[in-house]
Structure 1
Amino acid sequence: MLLNYSRRLTGKVRTRSANAELACFLSFVAGAINAGGFLAVQQYTSHMSGIVSHMSDMVALGDVSTLLWGFGALLAFIAGSASTSVIINFARHRYLQSEYALPILIEAGALMFFGLLDGIKWDFDWLWTSLTVATLCYIMGLQNAIITDISQYALRSTHITGTVTDIGIELGKAFYWNRASRQDPSIQPVQSNKKKFKLLLEVLVLFFIGGVIGAYGFKTFGFVFTCAVASILVYLAAGPIIDDIKSLWAVFNEPPVILKQSEDSNQVPTTAEMAEAEELAEVQEQQEEVNERGLSDDEVARPGI
């Protein structure tokens, strides 16, 4: 039952309801990671707007080290998105069920690595901070690309700017009075998409709830809390990945297929076949000798007696 739900959320066959539920799950996880990351490095890593703006400030101030730090975070986010794209297309070309589950599983592993980094702080603070930020940005880029691909660029799970903008658009449509369309039937009335509006609100609220729980959990439990969040991602990815493992195991354990050799083939005989042919020829010669001389079978079998 649990694996079936996992297959529904992250399997290859997609439905609108599954896309919406997966977006809500990942939005909650993104909020938790973003808040926990802020407590770790005092920097939000779920969106690149702030980081790029920070980079531009550092150019004006001449702070090269911080500029390079922001550039590394930007590259890590891009690398995460690129990784998701490579994994999804690789799985599609090989007809795997886990095209969306594999990036989620990698995200779980990267999240565990982030928690481990918090547990083993180094003497080199600049290196620890840079690697932590890069890991968080990679996670966010990885996850954001998953929902972007699934929703056909309609949703984002790691930052809320676009979500809040879409909420405002749908509210504007809902409150529009449509006076012109009532006066002129040829004008199409403006209508709000209630299902989309509801989903956008759910994503927004779950991101906020995830942030509250993430901040509290990371502050209170530290690395153990990252294990709990990673376990959610592992569960989401479990069903399709188990199915692919079973399929690969079945392929590797199939009995070999033996093709029957055609009579007119010119295949070179093996050593065993040549020895068998020589033995048959020798038996035929002995039989011919029996027929010519009238010898008994015992005399032929014991020529020296």
Structure 2
Amino acid sequence: MIKHHPTPSWIYLGGLTLATIAGVINAVGFLGQHHQALSHMTGTVTVLGYELARAGYGVALHALAILTAFFLGCLLSGMIIRQSSLRLGRRYGVALSLESALLVAALFFLRRGANVGDYLAAMACGLQNAMVSTYSGSTMRTTHITGMVTDLGIACGHFFRGVEVDWFKFRIYGVLILGYFAGAVLGGLGYGNWGYDTLLFPAALSGIAGVGYTVIKHYERSHRPHTKAPF
């Protein structure tokens, strides 16, 4: 029998928030100058491959730079958090604040038509995606939904065969997919009205979450002097 401890509400709220942020960023990337995915790299690697095949070296170089920036964001996350499993007390506040700063910097360059804006936004997505690897044995990604849709499909197949399924996955993946979809809708609506300034929304959301989280953890640490803080 598959058992999970009661899932705290901050898991769902945090997942919903992060997925919404990613959905907005990716929608802006698709609607922007290069029509480029920024929150996941599958399409970017495809672009890199077929542009090299047809000698489109300029576009290929741009795709490679985005892929590299996403990777560097993941690298930064690993250096900051140093933990693969989601647990309160890790340096998520620092990572979220840095993501906010990267998005603000990305907006600065995108307003001026500079490609580096795409790279900074992709780095922010890589940083976010690597923040949360697993929770309660389930793989969690907040910047793309391919794996989650796959896992849900497998789970549905098991359910229809009468095999026991992990209902936690249904709940958390459903929340993440809903958040990403909502972010894409918001990103599309925002870009139509404010263009690249739409990135101010995910920047503010991640910044508020990061600063708020950091303040709360420091408050808890200051009021529990005999408990060693996990970060």
TM over 0.5: yes
- 2:171 aligns with 198
The structure-2 alpha-carbon separation of the partners of 1:75 and 1:31, relative to structure 1 and needing over 3 Å to count, comes to same
**CA radius of gyration, larger in:** 1
- Equivalence map 1:1-305=2 (5 Å): 16-40=8-32, 41-89=34-82, 97=89, 99-121=91-113, 128-129=114-115, 131-148=116-133, 154-177=139-162, 190-242=163-215
Identity %: 28
Runs of 4 or more, structure 1, over 6 Å off, are: 244-249
- Residues 43 and 168 (structure 1), Cα distance of their counterparts in 2 relative to 1, 3 Å cut: same
AA in 2 matched with 1:87: I
Deviates more, 1:132-141 or 1:157-166: 132-141
- TM-score under structure 2 length normalisation: 0.81
- Cα deviation digits, residues 159-196 of structure 1 (max 9, x gap): 1111110110111111114xxxxxxxxxxxx2112221
> Do the aligned partners of 1:115 and 1:222 also contact (CA within 8 Å) in 2?
no
User: Aligned pair count?
Assistant: 212
Gaps of 5+ in 2: 1-6, 223-231
Secondary structure at the counterpart of residue 222 of structure 1: helix
- Give TM-score scaled by structure 1 length: 0.63
What is the distance in 2 between the residues matched to 1:69 and 1:247? Answer: 44
Question: What root-mean-square deviation, in Å, do the aligned CA atoms of Structure 1 and Structure 2 show?
Answer: 2.6
Counterparts of 1:169 and 1:64 in 2: how far apart (Å)?
Answer: 39
C-alpha contact 2:105 2:117 (8 A) present in aligned 1: no
Give secondary structure in 1 for the equivalent of 2:132: helix
Q: Which has the higher contact order (CA 8 A, sep 6+)?
A: 2
Distance in 2 between residues matched to 1:159 and 1:39, nearest whole Å: 17
CA deviation after TM superposition for structure 1 residue 156, in Å: 0.6
- Aligned residue type for 2:99: E
Amino acid in structure 1 at the alignment position of 2:204: S
| Structure 1: runs of 5 or more not aligned | 1-14, 91-95, 122-127, 178-189, 250-305
Q: Which amino acid aligns with 1:79?
A: L
